């Protein structure tokens, strides 16, 4: 159901982005990367928030099932993080003429956020499975979520505004109706895709765990 919704919404959103939305005044045709890049970035943030929420639930209730849920959400967040970096890099190449620039704080902060969550896996797999590993992973996922508002606000607070800013109070720089609708559909589709992948991945990981328990019981 989620997968079908994701496919339908994304197909509709991409079709609208290519055939309905007008060209942006300055960026022109290349602004269409926005409809995939920004929803992916926001979905990555949403996954990291979800991971932190599950981590908090684990630390609050000591229920070990939240450990796997938090881990799966970080896994999804990192996949969407990679896509954010790749699509952003392509957009940078066509807009600024470079694949990457270290002078932009928002790019570097997103990279730091991505590397922080990539290191989560190193921490997790360096500790034996059990409550200790679950607690350490949960605390790490909670720390990471602090970086998200910093990364998000950096786009608005940066001195050098090469990175485009949308959804501001300035009416002239905001999106027009068709752009906003297309963005909303793409964002909903991306969230549905993430939810669908999360559910499937979680089912697979739970199945893996139960099979290991069964193997131990039978051997």
Partner 1 sequence: MTSAEKYVTAAYLVVLAVVLAYIVIYAFKLSRLEREVAELAELARRRRETQSEPEPEPEREEVAG
Residues that bind partner 1 (CB under 8 A): 14, 28-30, 32-33, 36-37, 40, 79, 82-83, 86-87, 90-91, 93-94, 193, 197, 200-201, 204, 207-208, 211, 214-215, 218-219
Q: How far, in Å, CA of 109 to CA of 103, rounded? A: 11
C-beta of 107: minimal distance to partner 1 in Å? 16
C-beta of 91: minimal distance to partner 1 in Å? 7
Closest CB to partner 1 among residues 14, 136 = 14
DSSP-assigned states of every residue in the chain: -HHHHHHHHHHHHHHHHHHTSPPBTTTBGGGGGHHHHHHHHHHHHHHHHHHHHHHHHHHHH--THHHHHHHHHHHHHHHHHHHHHHHHHHHHHHHHSSS--TT-HHHHHHHHHHHHHHHHHHHHHTS-SSHHHHHHHHHHHHHHTTHHHHHHHHHHH-SS--S---S-S-GGGSPPHHHHHHHHHHHHHHHHHHHHHHHHHHHHHHHHHHHHHHHHHH-
Closest CB to partner 1 among residues 55, 68 = 68
C-beta of 5: minimal distance to partner 1 in Å? 15
C-beta of 26: minimal distance to partner 1 in Å? 12
C-beta of 101: minimal distance to partner 1 in Å? 16
Closest CB to partner 1 among residues 176, 211 = 211
Closest CB to partner 1 among residues 54, 75 = 75
Closest CB to partner 1 among residues 12, 79 = 79
Q: How far, in Å, CA of 173 to CA of 187, rounded? A: 20
C-beta of 109: minimal distance to partner 1 in Å? 21
Closest CB to partner 1 among residues 71, 91 = 91
């Amino acid at each position: 159901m989620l997968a079908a919704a994701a496919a339908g919404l994304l197909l509709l959103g991409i079709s609208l982005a290519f055939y309905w939305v007008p060209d942006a005044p300055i960026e022109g045709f290349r602004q269409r990367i926005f409809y995939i890049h920004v929803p992916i970035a926001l979905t990555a943030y949403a996954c990291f928030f979800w991971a932190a929420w599950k981590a908090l639930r684990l630390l609050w209730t000591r229920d070990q099932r939240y450990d796997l849920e938090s881990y799966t959400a970080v896994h999804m967040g990192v996949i969407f993080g990679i896509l954010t970096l790749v699509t952003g890099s392509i957009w940078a190449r066509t807009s600024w003429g470079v694949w990457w620039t270290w002078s932009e704080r928002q790019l570097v902060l997103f990279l730091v956020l991505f590397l922080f969550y990539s290191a989560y896996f190193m921490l997790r797999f360096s500790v034996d499975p059990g409550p200790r590993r679950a607690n350490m992973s949960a605390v790490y996922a909670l720390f990471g979520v602090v970086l998200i508002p910093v990364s998000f606000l950096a786009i608005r607070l940066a001195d050098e505004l090469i990175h485009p800013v949308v959804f501001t109070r300035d009416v002239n720089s905001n999106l027009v109706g068709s752009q906003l609708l297309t963005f909303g559909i793409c964002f909903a589709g991306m969230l549905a895709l993430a939810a669908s992948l999360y559910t499937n991945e979680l089912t697979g990981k739970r199945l893996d765990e139960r099979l290991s328990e069964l193997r131990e019981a039978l051997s």
